[in-house]
Amino acid sequence: MMSSTRDRTSEFFSIADRLGGSVGASASGGGGAGAGSGLAPRGLSGSSLGSSSLSGAALSKVDSSLFASKASSIGMGIHATSTKLARLAALAKRTSMFDDPAREIAELTGVIKQDIASLNAAISDLQNLSRGTSGSNKQTAAHGTTVVNNLKTKLMGAMKQFKEVLTVRNENLKVQESRRSRFTASPSKLPSQGDGGVRQPLLGAAPSSSPLPLGRYAAAASGGGDMAMPTPSTSDAAAAGASDKPPVRPPPHWATSSTQPTSVEPGGGHPHLRRRQQGGGSSVMVDNATGPPSSRAPTTPGMPPPPPMFQSQALVAQNSSYVSARSEAIAQVESTITELGGIFSQLATMVQEQGELAVRIDENVEDTLSNVEAGQGELLKYLDRISGNRWLILKVLGVVLFFLLIFVLFVL
Amino acid sequence: MALREKSGGASGADVASLLSLPFLSDNSIRSRQILSLAKLLSSPSSGESPGDSGEFKVFVLDALARDIVAPLLKVQDLRKLGVTLHLALEDASRQAIPDVPAVYLCAPTPENISRIVNDTVAGMYAAASLNFTPSISRVSMEALAREMINGSKAGGGTDASNGTASGNALSRVRSVFDQYMSFVSLEPNFFSLRIPDAYVAFNDPAARDVDVANATSRVVEGLFSALATVGAMPWCLRCPRGGIAEHVAGALHAKLKDHANPAKSTIFATDDAARPLVVILDRNFDLGTALAHSWDYQPLVHDVLSLKLNRVSVPPSSGGTASPKAAKTYDLDRDDFFWSTHAASPFPKVAEDVDVQLNQYKRAVEEISKQATAGDDPSAAFDANRSDLSANTKKLMSAVNSLPELTARKRIIDKHTNIATSLLGSIKTRSLDVYCSVEAELMTGKGDRAAAAQLLSAAVGGGGGEGSLRGTATDHLRLALVHLLSGGSGAGDSEGVESSLRSLGCDMGAYLYAKRMVSLNLAGPAPGSGVTGASAGVGGMTARDSDGNLLSDWADKAFSSVTKGVKALMMSERRPAVVDACEALISEGASSSAVPLGTAPRIDVSNFARFEPRGSSSGTAPRSVVVFMVGGGCYAEYLSLNAWSKSVGVRTTYGCTECVSGGELAAQLSVLGDKASLK
C-alpha cells in the first residue's frame, strides 16, 4: 500500500555530489551536509539556527526560531498532557467500589490541571510573540496565527477530554454512593433506636455535596450497630471493605477507648464525622459492656469472622471514613470541573471561530479569479466611458473648428 | 508483502482516525490516494507515526496538485496533518517563512523546478521536501541539482552576508520523492487525469506526431500513476485492436515492463490476487453514451450544472429577488450522505427523497423541542426527586449535543433542495425529459427513428407549441448525433435530420464529422444494431416499473407541466458498451466459471489486443478491473460500471483522461469537424 512512492533522495544527493565535485569543493561540502541532514531534520534546523545567530543581522530570524521552538515545546506539552489524560481516563473508568484509586486520581488531576493552566499561559505568550515579530510579512503572520490556533484547538480538545473524564469520575462516585446506600439502607428503614436520634442532627450539618446518601448511610450504619447485620452477603462485603484498610483493623482497644480511632483513620478530618464516631464509639461501648465477652477477643486476619456486634463497630468507623473520603473526592472533582470551566471559557473567547473548517484548498483561487474578472469588467466599463468622452471631446472640437472656420470665412 | 500490508493498514487506521474519515479502509483508489497524501505530509518528520501530525509545515502546490488535493482533503484535514498554509507554487508573491519546513507537491516541469530552486536558494523555508506527482526524470533531477549548486554559488558570491544562509541550498532539501499521483480521484472508484480536450488531441487528423506522442505520454504517465496507487501489476492489458487505445496500451505496456521485475522496482506488489485486468478503450468505442442525456442525478448535475472537481455552482434562482445573488457553490463529496446514496438515483427519486429527508429532519427537531420542554414541565417537577432531575438534564444535554449534527443535516438537505430546484428549472426549459426518453429508446434500438427525426423537424418550427422540443442548439445536436450513431452505417434516414439541424442553426461540424466516422465504421458498435440489446432493455424496464410509479406520483403532485414527458420516460435500462466489454473480457479470463454471467457476451473479444507486462499468468479470473477511457469519460458509464461490479462482485475502477459532459464532447466534435473542414 505504501509502496506507491519511490524515494529518490539518495539518488538526488549522489547527483548533487557528482555535480558539486566538478563545480566546486564548497558546494560539494554543502551537498554532503545536506545528505547528512536529510536524514536528521532536527539537526538541520539546529544548524540553521546556529548560522543565523552567527550572522547576527537576522534578529527576526532568531525570534521566529524562538517561535518555532516554543510552538513545538507547547505541542509536546499538549501531547504529554493527553497521555496523562489517557491514564487518568483509565483510572476513572474503574467502577469497582473497593479498590478506588482516589489518591492517584487526585494527584493526576492536580498535575493535569497545572499542565493545562501553564500551557494556556504559554499559548497566549506565543500569540503575543507571533504578533510582535511578524509585522511586515503577511504569510509568516498567517503561519503564526494558524500555529497558535492549532495549538489552542488541541488544548481545547485535551480540556474537553479532561472534563469528560472528570464527569465520568463524578458519575462513578455518585453511582457508588447510591449503590452503597441501597445496600445499607434496608436496615435503616426499621425504626432506629435511641442513639440514632442523637446522630441525625449532626449529620444534617455534614458535607453538603451529597447529604442525602450520606445521611442515609450513616443511619444505616447506626442501625447496623444496634442490630445484627441482616444478610450474610452484606456482612461479607463489609468485612471485605474493612480488610482493605489496615489501620482500622486492630480494634481490640478501640472498643474500649473511644478516643483512639480518630487518629488512626485516614480520612477522618471532618469534625462532624469525628464527633459522630466518638458518639458511636461510646454508644457501642455501652452496648459492649452488656455484650458477650467473646466480642473483646482480638481478631487477626484469616480468622473466622468476628461476632456481629464487634464487626458492626468496626464498620461504623470504616464506613464513616469511607464516606468522608468519598464526599471529599466528589467535592474535589466538582471544584476542578468548575475551575476548568473558567479556563475553558477563557480559551474559547481566545479561539476565534474557525470558519474555514470545511473549506477546500481551491476556494481562494476561485474567489481570486472571480475578483479578477470583476475587476476587469469594471475596467472595461471605465474604458468604455472614457472612450465615449473622447468621442464627445472630438465632436465638440470639430464643431468649434467648424464655427471657427465659418467665423474666419465671414470675417474675411 | 504481508508485512507491508500490515503496516499500511495500521497507518491507514491512524490516518482514518486522525481525519475522522472512516471509509479510508475500503481500499479504493481514492482512499489510497488520501493515505499517500497523508503520508507525504507526515513523512520524514523524525520517524513519528503517520497519524501524528508532527511538526508544522507549509504545503506548496502547483495547479494540478491543487486539483488533486482539493477533492480529497479539506483545509481542516490539512490542519490536522500539521499544514498551516497551503500556497500556490506559481504565486510569485509568496513570502519567506524562514523557520518552517515546506512540502512541495508538483509536476517536474522546468518552470516548477526553477521555482523550487529559487525558493531554496533564497532560503524561503527552513527545509524542502520535494514530491513530484509523476516521476521526475534523471535529466530533470540533474538540472535541479545543478541549478541549486549554481544558485548557491552565485548567491554566495554576490552577497557575502547572506552567504551562510544561501550557501547550502542543497542542504535544505530534505527528501525527493516520486509520488505517482498525477490523477484526480473524484469518487471512490473514479479517477480523471484532467487532460482537457483529449478527444481532439487524439482524433485530430491534422495533428503532428509530436503532439500525439506528447498526449500519449501524458496519458501513460497518469495511468501508470493510477495503477501504481492501486498497487498491483496489471494482470494483462486489453484494448480494441488498431486504434488510439492500442497505441496507449502499447506505450503503457512498455512502461510497465520496466517495473515488472519486483527485484528492481518495489512499486507494484507481487500479489497475484490483487492484480487487475486493465481495459483501455477509446471514446470512439462508444460515443453515444457520452453524448446522450442522462436522467440520473450525478450525470444530470454534471451535464446541467457542470459539476467540476466534485463542486457545483448553482446559479441564483431566476424567479427574481431584486438583489442579484451570486451563484452558490456546493461541494458534493464524501461528507454528503444524501449525495453518496443518491448519486445514481434517477432524478424524480431524488426529488422525492429530498422531501422525505426534510420531513425526517422536521420530526427530529420536534422531538428535541419536546424533550427540552419536558425538562421544565411543572407537573413533572411535582414529584421530581434528584435522579429524575438529573435524567432530564441529561436528556437536555444530549439534545443540545445532537443539534449541530441536525443543522449539518439541514444544510445538506437545503443544498440538495436548491440543486434539485435548479435542475428542475433546466429540465422544464430544455425539456430534457423528452431528450432522455427519446435517446434512451434510440440507443436500445427499439425507438421509433422516424419519430425522433420528426421531433427535430418540429423543433424547427419554433419551440412554441406544447410537446414540441425546446432546448439549446447543443441539445438538438446531441439528439441528432445519438440518432446518427444509433443508426449504424447503413441507416439512410439522416438527411431529414441533417436539414432540420441546419435550419435550427446548429454547428454542423460535429454532425458531419460523426457522419463521416459512422460511414468509416469507426464509431464503435451501434447499440441498436446489437442482437441482444433489446432484451436487456426490456428486462430493465420491468425492473424499473415501480420507480415509474413513484415518479409519476411525484410529478402529478408537484410539477404537472413535466408530467407528460416524465411518464413517457419509461426509464429503459440500457448498459453502456463499456460494461459489455468488461463483462466479455472478464468472462473470457474465467475459464472456470468464477464469474456468474447472465447473458452471452455481446462484444467480440477476439477483436481485442492483449498485452501481458509480466508474462502470461494463471487462468484464474481477475478480481478487479481497471477501465480507462481515452478521450473523455462520463458519469453515466461510471455509475453503470459500479452497479455492474456490485452485481458481479468484481472491483472496478473507472478512469478517463477527463470527465466530459455531452455538451463538452459535442463541442470537441465540432472542433474536429472544423479542423477537417467539413461544413
> What pLDDT, in 10s, does the model give residues A283-309?
444 444 444 444 444 444 444 444 555
Q: Does B146 touch chain A (CB under 8 A)?
A: yes
Q: Which residues of A2-35 are buried (b: 16+ CB within 10 A; e: fewer)?
A: bbbbbebbeebbebbbebbeebbebbbebbbbbb
Contact, B51 vs B14, CB < 8 A?
Answer: yes
- In angstroms, the separation between the Cα of residue B648 and the nearest Cα of chain A is 25
Q: Is residue A180 part of a domain?
A: no
- In angstroms, the separation between the Cα of residue B28 and the nearest Cα of chain A is 11
Out of B88, B98, B171, the one facing A64 most closely (by C-beta) is B98
Q: What SS3 state is found at A99? A: coil
Contact, B314 vs B325, CB < 8 A?
Answer: no
pLDDT bin (cut points 50, 70, 90) of residue B167 is low
Mean pLDDT, range A354-361, rounded to an integer:
57
- In angstroms, the separation between the Cα of residue A18 and the nearest Cα of chain B is 10
Higher pLDDT, A35 or B387: B387
Chain A (53-72) residues lying within 8 Å, Cβ to Cβ, of chain B: 54-55, 57-58, 61, 64-65, 67-68, 71-72
Q: What is the dihedral of CA A282, A286, A287, A292, to 10 degrees?
A: 120
Is the predicted pLDDT of residue B656 greater than 90, yes or no?
yes
Q: Report in angstroms the alpha-carbon separations of B557 from A21, B348, B352.
A: 81, 12, 11
Q: Give the strands of the sheet with A6-7, arranged side by side.
A: A6-7, B173-178, B125-132, B97-106, B57-61, B83-88
Q: Using CA atoms, how far apart are residues A373 and A363, in angstroms rounded to an integer?
A: 16
Q: Is residue A290 part of a domain?
A: yes
Mean pLDDT, range B130-138, rounded to an integer:
89
Which residues from chain B sit within 8 angstroms of residue A9, using beta carbons?
A: 173-177
DSSP one-letter code for B602: -
Interchain pair B39, A3: CB under 8 A: no
Query: Bridge partners of B277?
Result: B236, B625
Domain B2-182 has CATH 3.40.50.2300: no
Higher pLDDT, A356 or B573: B573
Is the predicted pLDDT of residue B284 greater than 60, yes or no?
yes
In this predicted structure, which of A45-49, A62-66, A357-361 has the lowest mean pLDDT?
A45-49
- Report the amino acid identity of residue B200: V
Contact, A323 vs A218, CB < 8 A?
Answer: yes
Is the predicted pLDDT of residue A3 greater than 90, yes or no?
no
Which residues from chain A sit within 8 angstroms of residue B78, using beta carbons?
A: 361
Contact, B185 vs B71, CB < 8 A?
Answer: yes
Q: What SS3 state is found at A409? A: helix
Chain B (74-113) residues lying within 8 Å, Cβ to Cβ, of chain A: 74-76, 78-79, 82, 84-88, 94-101
Contact, B255 vs B224, CB < 8 A?
Answer: yes
H/E element holding B453?
Answer: helix B449-460
Which residues from chain A sit within 8 angstroms of residue B40, using beta carbons?
A: 5
| A320's grid cell | 464513616
In this predicted structure, which of A64-73, A158-167, A193-202, B434-443 has the lowest mean pLDDT?
A193-202
Interchain pair B335, A358: CB under 8 A: yes
Q: Does A44 touch chain B (CB under 8 A)?
A: yes
Is the predicted pLDDT of residue B393 greater than 60, yes or no?
yes
Contact, B70 vs B77, CB < 8 A?
Answer: no
H/E element holding A54?
Answer: helix A41-55
Out of B79, B178, B229, the one facing A6 most closely (by C-beta) is B178
Which residues from chain A sit within 8 angstroms of residue B176, using beta carbons?
A: 7-9, 11-12
Residue B434: per-residue pLDDT? 83
How is chain B split into domains, by residue range?
Answer: 2-182, 185-287+575-675, 311-430
Residue A241: per-residue pLDDT? 41
Residue carrying C-alpha cell 455481446? B602
Interchain pair A360, B76: CB under 8 A: no
CA B109 to chain centroid: 25
pLDDT digits 0-9 by tens, B326-384: 677 888 887 788 888 888 888 888 888 998 999 999 998 888 777 766 655 544 444 44
Angle ∠(B213,B218,B224) on CA atoms, nearest 5: 120
Q: Helix/strand/coil (H, E, C) string of B114-142?
A: HHHHHHHHHCCEEEEEEEECCCCCHHHHH
Q: What is the dihedral of CA B245, B303, B646, B256, to 10 degrees?
A: 30
Supply the Cα-derived Rg of chain A in whole angstroms: 40
Q: Residue A240 belongs to what domain range? A: 188-333
pLDDT bin (cut points 50, 70, 90) of residue A120 is confident
Q: Is residue A372 part of a domain?
A: no
- In angstroms, the separation between the Cα of residue A136 and the nearest Cα of chain B is 10
Residue B374: per-residue pLDDT? 60
Which residues from chain A sit within 8 angstroms of residue B97, using beta carbons?
A: 64, 137, 139-140, 143
Q: Does A137 touch chain B (CB under 8 A)?
A: yes
Interchain pair B99, A45: CB under 8 A: yes
Mutate to test the interface with A, among B149, B177, B258, B259 (most CBs of A within 10 A): B149
Q: Does A316 touch chain B (CB under 8 A)?
A: no
pLDDT bin (cut points 50, 70, 90) of residue B461 is low
Alpha helices in B461-573 (DSSP H): 473-486, 494-503, 508-519, 533-543, 545-558, 560-568
Interchain pair B164, A44: CB under 8 A: no
Q: Report in angstroms the alpha-carbon separations of B225 from B33, B98, B179, B581.
A: 10, 33, 8, 24
Q: Is residue A407 part of a domain?
A: no
- In angstroms, the separation between the Cα of residue A215 and the nearest Cα of chain B is 15
Query: Bridge partners of B630?
Result: B282
Interchain pair A361, B229: CB under 8 A: no
Q: What is the complex's ipTM, to 2 decimals?
A: 0.75
Phi-psi region of A301 (alpha: psi -120 to 50; beta: other; left: phi over 0): beta
- In angstroms, the separation between the Cα of residue A376 and the nearest Cα of chain B is 17
Nearest CA to A332 out of A267, A283, A383 is that of A267
Mean pLDDT, range A376-402, rounded to an integer:
87
| B546's grid cell | 415501480
Residue B650: per-residue pLDDT? 85
Q: Does A156 touch chain B (CB under 8 A)?
A: no
pLDDT bin (cut points 50, 70, 90) of residue B190 is very high
| B583's grid cell | 463483462
Report chain A's mean pLDDT, rounded to a whole number.
63
Mean pLDDT, range B480-495, rounded to an integer:
70
Q: Report in angstroms the alpha-carbon separations of B283 from A350, B207, B245, B524, B669.
A: 56, 18, 9, 9, 11
Interchain pair B95, A48: CB under 8 A: no
Residue B535: per-residue pLDDT? 32
How many beta-carbon contacts under 8 Å exist across A and B?
A: 227
Tell me which chain A residue has its CA closest to the CA of residue B53: A75
Out of B45, B73, B100, the one facing A143 most closely (by C-beta) is B100
- Strands B97-106 and B57-61, sheet pairing: parallel
Q: Using CA atoms, how far apart are residues B227 and B597, in angstroms rounded to an integer?
A: 27
Interchain pair A4, B179: CB under 8 A: yes
- B185-287+575-675: CATH topology: Rossmann fold (3.40.50)
Q: Is residue A231 part of a domain?
A: yes
Q: Helix/strand/coil (H, E, C) string of B331-350?
A: ECCCCCHHHHHHCCCEHHHH
Interchain pair A24, B153: CB under 8 A: yes
Out of B11, B58, B170, the one facing A31 most closely (by C-beta) is B170
Domains B2-182 and B185-287+575-675 share a fold: yes
Interchain pair A137, B66: CB under 8 A: no
Chain A (330-389) residues lying within 8 Å, Cβ to Cβ, of chain B: 354, 356-362, 365-366
Q: Using CA atoms, how far apart are residues B649 and B647, in angstroms rounded to an integer?
A: 6
pLDDT bin (cut points 50, 70, 90) of residue A248 is very low
Contact, A133 vs A95, CB < 8 A?
Answer: no
| B540's grid cell | 430493465
Alpha helices in A56-189 (DSSP H): 59-93, 102-133, 138-188
pLDDT bin (cut points 50, 70, 90) of residue B219 is very high
Query: Bridge partners of A213?
Result: none
| A250's grid cell | 486492630
Residue A73: per-residue pLDDT? 84
Which residues from chain A sit within 8 angstroms of residue B14, using beta carbons?
A: none
Domain count, chain A: 1
- In angstroms, the separation between the Cα of residue A198 and the nearest Cα of chain B is 27
Interchain pair B75, A356: CB under 8 A: yes
Nearest CA to B101 out of A48, A146, A5, A75 is that of A48
Interchain pair B174, A30: CB under 8 A: no
Mutate to test the interface with A, among B35, B72, B168, B309 (most CBs of A within 10 A): B168
Please, is B302 exposed, middle or buried when counting C-beta atoms within 10 Å of its C-beta (0-12, 13-18, 19+)? Answer: buried
Q: Using CA atoms, how far apart are residues B155 and B147, in angstroms rounded to an integer?
A: 12
pLDDT digits 0-9 by tens, B560-576: 434 334 433 434 456 78
Taken in order B315, B331, B192, B111, is the CA torsion positive or negative?
A: positive
Which residues from chain B sit within 8 angstroms of residue A8, using beta carbons?
A: 136, 141, 176-178
Which residues from chain B sit within 8 angstroms of residue A140, using beta carbons?
A: 95-97
Tell me which chain A residue has its CA closest to the CA of residue B135: A6
Mean pLDDT, range B96-112, rounded to an integer:
89
Residue B105: per-residue pLDDT? 93
